[in-house]
Structure 1
Amino acid sequence: MRIAGYLRVSTLKQAEDGVSIEMQKRIIINHCEMLEIISDESEIKWYIDDGWSAKSLERPAMRSLIGDIKTRQMDLIIAYDMSRISRDIMDMMSLLKMLDKYGVSLKCLYDNPSFETASERFMTTIKMATHQYERERTSERTRDAIINIAESGRYPFSGMKHYGYMKDDDGRMVLNPEEASLVLEIFQMACEGYRMREIVRMANIRQDKEIFTMGRIRRIIKNRKYTGTISVYGKDYDGLIPAIITEEIQKKAESNLVTHSHKSDRYIFTSVLICRRCGSTLLCKSAYGKMKKMYLYYFCPTCKKRIRQSDVEDELSEFKVDNATKDFKNRYNALRDIETLLLSRRSKLNDKFLEGAVSVENMQIMLTAIENELRDARRKRSAIQSLDAVRVFSDFEDAEQKKAFVEMHIRRIVIDIQEKKVLTIEFKESETSAEKKINSIIGIKLTTRNMSDII
């Protein structure tokens, strides 16, 4: 006989009367051994929903059990009582009909459902109605208690821990300094228009483990609790939880959520292409084809001619990248030093903001230059990180690496826009010192000098 043991408990129920998972399991095993249904507990396949309400059948283990029932992998289901299975009459009746259809028996040790006689059907229905009544009354009491706590000025969801917060010795919700600093940085990057995958990568690097996904980052950015506002059954409460960001920052972060590349990021040769005939810098343009495919091209405002980006890429496909990267190691190390310095300064600024030493307005002003330079350093370092394996322009993995390479090494490319040809490439002077590059990019920034007074 193929036996399934179903165990369920909600957090509230477990706290109230101790009907724990282990207790249910022990009683089921003892019952099966006493009736000699099994000789060893390994003969029971367990389905466990720990911390799930019985208000519906939408529970992980229950869904798995229903799937096994439909594939005829079970003969008998054993549970502690009917309320473990469901506290909703309609759900319970639907489940019983399905069990009957697939020839599966259900045994609830303390209130087994039976429909053999009119009396048994009546009593079983009464029991199911009682379980539903208890669930609804419990839900109402919980709702009233939560509202009462919120009205008294205390955080009502003490069992729910959101990233960025922790409980103090008095049970109040306070900021977790390390996590709150990362939450603030997530919002800052979103406000600056960083792509979602870049924010995820930054957050996981800071945590030194893969705990963030795009879905989780999106939920953080949309969570109003980080503004210090919580909603309790339709009513908003302020001051029950410390704020990490303002409503303005959250709105800006939400409006800037980007899950794919900006169109402007797809242009590889921005401000680099020069028309040989008139000397004009070509402008970035785009158009859509018949299949709604977007085409990127560069337009000469004087000659009124254009060239596709793909044509320029084809022209450069065999261009030897290694000829322009003699200073590879110095450049890479310089960019890494820049990024480390910028991250350190931003982290210190975040700490000062959370301590209340810096206003939101001043923080945004001081962060602007840092964010711009950090974005630039990351893009360029990403591009040259794989240059050891790159020998020609077409070897780059994507447009982002090509764009970063062009920004770093190429000053201008002269184009014969009539013939769609690349004529000459002018390279930038290579830097020879990491210290020189750091000073040239960061040291002269007014924002940086102002920050030194605070950090």
Structure 2
Amino acid sequence: MGIKDFAYIRCSTTKQVKDGNTIEVQLKGIQDYITKNNIEIPHGNWYIDGAQSAKNLNRREFKKLENIVKNGDAERIFIYKRDRLIRDVQDLYTIQNNFVVDKRVKVISVKDGEIAWHNANEEFMQVVYSAKDKLEITQASERTLDNLYMSALKGNYTIASIPIGARRCKRGDAKKAIEFPDENVKDIVFVFDYIADVKCSLQERVDYLNSIQHMAIKWTTHNLTRMITNPIYSGDFVTKRYKIENHTPGVITKEKQNRAIKNLYYKGQRNTYQYVFKDIIHCDTCDTILDQQSTKKRKRNGKGKIYLYYYCPACGYRVSESTVLSELEGRLDRRFMLQEHGKFLKEAVERKTRIKRLINFYNQMYVSGKLEFELAVGEIEKLKQDYKELKIWTDKYYKDNDVIVFSRMSYRAKRIYLESHVKYIKYNAKNLKFDIIYK
């Protein structure tokens, strides 16, 4: 028994009878050949790919056979005809290199002989045969596409899956045309109007249609996208190969479909950055409300950081959001705490402010050379330790008394507090000073 002998059979369709390449014909042909040559192939060594095209080698049963060859467990592979295994020059060289040369496996065709070569003339003939098979499959594909085009010209809808809300019908010579029933037209128009007019994310649209159980189907981002982008709803039938205008009576206008497609992937405004003091800061020189501006500094790793600014369109200067926060948060914190908690935290906040100023002072003294390094570091470390202990104490107070100061508020809470307590903020660009005018 030839344990290392295998047979491979492929059929493009289960009803492929015209060219005599049915699975039964191939089975009988290989069985007669191996019986005549006293070869026996075990029952488990037969691999059959049904309804598989030969345009490439990506076939389920062939992949199993290929793994057996890679493991060195095969010596001979029998096929009925060469086009049952390969129909492409590139696949021919794959078989020659991976099977014949690397693993010493013989690929034998019952009708065409061994698929291999040992000299340039044999290689040329094998390439010619494969190119001929490739030409045949390409011509067959083109004939199929041409037939589909001629069928579509008659009014047939030649795509297997019909659009949402449509049904098959007969129209003139077309036996597989489609139409949109009157009871579905209103629902289809509603979907296109909703997509064209309402601005929200694609997933939010899907959730809404499912929530109202529209047209009694399960909506997904996939089928909604296919529906909106399908030109058949406006009357045109479009494929990768051709376009037929006024193919089917449309239910919407092309202008409405274009608006729906444009609005389908709406993602909102791009620059939704959170400016805490938006429309509150005024220029002290010209009394203009400062506008918002953002820049992005890209780093080598491709990532970038967003920098937010307030700028005066009249005077031309700008100030960063971080600068405004560092200057105003402490002052707003003190006012907020005095209003809400009296004098309990006033001393702690003032001590924090003094410590920060002293740290900056010692840093400047060291940089200017007026203070030795050891002394400056020692003083700064003491101040940092005091600041840390003070922060621990204030954090504990915040937690025990449920205190939320301005600097610890959310963006929305900060905006609400500013709108209710602050009339406007004056910014003097020359002196870099902020004046808070409360209500």
Match in the other structure for 1:85: 85
**1:212 aligned to 208, 221, 227, which one?**
221
**Whole-Å separation in 1 of the counterparts to 2:199 and 2:21:** 47
Aligned positions of 1:2-21 closer than 5 A:
9-10=11-12, 13-14=13-14, 17=17
Given the alignment of the two structures, is residue 171 of structure 1 paired with residue 176 of structure 2, yes or no?
A: yes
Change (3 A) 1:277 1:90: closer
Match in the other structure for 1:224: 231
Aligned positions of 1:138-217 closer than 5 A:
138-152=140-154, 154-155=155-156, 157-163=158-164, 165-168=166-169, 170-175=175-180, 181=187, 185=191, 188-189=194-195, 192-199=198-205, 211-213=220-222
Change (3 A) 1:258 1:425: farther
**Whole-Å separation in 1 of the counterparts to 2:438 and 2:31:** 84
Match in the other structure for 2:307: 295
Cα displacement string for residues 404-424 of structure 1 (whole angstroms, at most 9, x for unaligned residues): x67998893747575999x99
Gaps of 5+ in 1: 320-390, 397-401, 427-455
**Whole-Å separation in 1 of the counterparts to 2:208 and 2:7:** 44
Aligned positions of 1:19-98 closer than 5 A:
23=23, 27=27, 36-39=40-43, 41=44, 48=49, 50=51, 53-54=53-54, 56-57=55-56, 59=58, 61=60, 68=67, 72=71, 75=74, 81-98=81-98
Question: What is the letter of the counterpart of residue 308 of structure 1?
Answer: E
CA contact (8 A) 2:169 2:176 kept: yes
Query: How many residue pairs were aligned?
Result: 335
Change (3 A) 1:141 1:198: same
Change (3 A) 1:277 1:134: closer
**Whole-Å separation in 2 of the counterparts to 1:181 and 1:312:** 52
Q: Which has the larger radius of gyration?
A: 2
CA-CA distance at 1:172 after TM superposition: 1.9
CA contact (8 A) 1:7 1:25 kept: no
**Whole-Å separation in 1 of the counterparts to 2:47 and 2:324:** 63
Cα displacement string for residues 142-196 of structure 1 (whole angstroms, at most 9, x for unaligned residues): 23322322333x1251435455544247532234877995797378536655444
**Whole-Å separation in 2 of the counterparts to 1:163 and 1:49:** 31
**Whole-Å separation in 2 of the counterparts to 1:7 and 1:408:** 73
Match in the other structure for 2:273: 267
**2:294 aligned to 280, 286, 295, which one?**
286
Three-state SS of the structure 1 residue aligned to 2:149 is helix
**Whole-Å separation in 2 of the counterparts to 1:95 and 1:81:** 15
Match in the other structure for 1:135: 137
After TM superposition, the score normalised by the length of structure 1 is 0.49
CA-CA distance at 1:92 after TM superposition: 3.1
CA-CA distance at 1:208 after TM superposition: 7.4
Match in the other structure for 2:321: 308
Aligned positions of 1:392-407 closer than 5 A:
none
CA contact (8 A) 1:288 1:295 kept: yes
Question: What is the letter of the counterpart of residue 263 of structure 1?
Answer: R
Gaps of 5+ in 2: 334-403
CA RMSD of aligned residues (A): 6.1
Question: What is the letter of the counterpart of residue 189 of structure 1?
Answer: I
**Whole-Å separation in 2 of the counterparts to 1:150 and 1:307:** 62
Change (3 A) 1:395 1:45: farther
Three-state SS of the structure 2 residue aligned to 1:287 is strand
Cα displacement string for residues 214-238 of structure 1 (whole angstroms, at most 9, x for unaligned residues): xx76665554344322246855312
After TM superposition, the score normalised by the length of structure 2 is 0.51
Highest RCO, 1 vs 2 (Cα 8 Å, sep ≥ 6): 1
Three-state SS of the structure 2 residue aligned to 1:412 is helix
CA contact (8 A) 1:85 1:92 kept: no
**2:243 aligned to 225, 236, 242, which one?**
236
**Whole-Å separation in 2 of the counterparts to 1:269 and 1:312:** 10
CA-CA distance at 1:263 after TM superposition: 1.4
User: What fraction of aligned residue pairs are identical, expressed as a percent?
Assistant: 19
**1:249 aligned to 240, 249, 256, which one?**
256
CA contact (8 A) 1:8 1:85 kept: yes
Cα displacement string for residues 283-334 of structure 1 (whole angstroms, at most 9, x for unaligned residues): 4432233546443445576896655389779969xx9xxxxxxxxxxxxxxx
CA contact (8 A) 1:78 1:109 kept: yes
**Whole-Å separation in 2 of the counterparts to 1:125 and 1:19:** 22
Question: What is the letter of the counterpart of residue 174 of structure 1?
Answer: E
Question: What is the letter of the counterpart of residue 295 of structure 1?
Answer: Y
CA-CA distance at 1:126 after TM superposition: 7.5
CA-CA distance at 1:67 after TM superposition: 7.7
Three-state SS of the structure 2 residue aligned to 1:100 is helix
Change (3 A) 1:284 1:220: farther
Three-state SS of the structure 1 residue aligned to 2:255 is helix
Question: What is the letter of the counterpart of residue 297 of structure 2?
Answer: G
Question: What is the letter of the counterpart of residue 56 of structure 2?
Answer: L
**Whole-Å separation in 2 of the counterparts to 1:110 and 1:232:** 39
